[in-house]
Structure 1
Amino acid sequence: MTVYTAVKTIAKSQGKSIYRIERDLGFGNGMISKWNKSIPRADKLQAVADYLGTTPQYLLRLAKEEK
C-alpha cells in the first residue's frame, strides 16, 4: 500500500473524498494522488493526518504494512 492508498482508505471510512480533503486544506488538485509514487512533505502529511484525526506515523505504518 502507498501513503495515498492509506489516506484514501481512512478517508473512505469517514465518508470523505480525496478531492474534498485537498479542497478543504487548500492543496492543489491531484496533490495527494501523487503520493502514490512519492513520499509527501512532512507538513502536508501532518495536515492530512490532523484533518483525518490520526497521526502521520499511523498513515506511514499503514502504508508500510500492506506492501
Structure 2
Amino acid sequence: MVNTEINHIFDNISKRVDEKGMSINALEEKAGIASGSIYKWKTVSPTIRSISKVAAVLGCSVDDLIT
C-alpha cells in the first residue's frame, strides 16, 4: 500500500469520528484496539481485523474506510 493510500484511510476514519462526535481514542477503546493504533495508520497499514473492528463501531463497511 502506498503511503497516500494509508493517509486516506486515516482521513476517512477521522471524518467519520468527527461526524459521530467522538474522539480517535474513544473509537480505539470501543473497537478494542490498542491506544494509538489508528494514529499509527498514517504510516503503517492496518490489519483487516483492526479495520473491521473500527468499521463496526463506526457503522460502516471496511470498503467505506479504505476507498
Q: What's the TM-score bracket when you normalise by the shorter of the two chains?
A: 0.7 to 0.9
Q: List alignment gaps of at least 5 residues for structure 1.
A: 62-67
Aligned-pair identity (%): 25
Please say if residues 2 and 35 of structure 1, whose CA atoms lie closer than 8 Å, have aligned partners that are also in contact: no
How many equivalent residue pairs?
Answer: 61
Who is 2:34 aligned against? 28
Q: How does 1:33-44 map to 2 (within 5 A)?
A: 33-44=39-50
SS at match of 2:41: helix
The one-letter code matched in structure 1 to 2:36 is: G
- Inter-partner Cα distance in structure 1 for 2:8 and 2:33: 19
Q: Return the offset for 1:44.
A: 0.6
* Structural RMSD (CA): 1.1
- The TM-score normalised by the length of structure 2 is 0.82
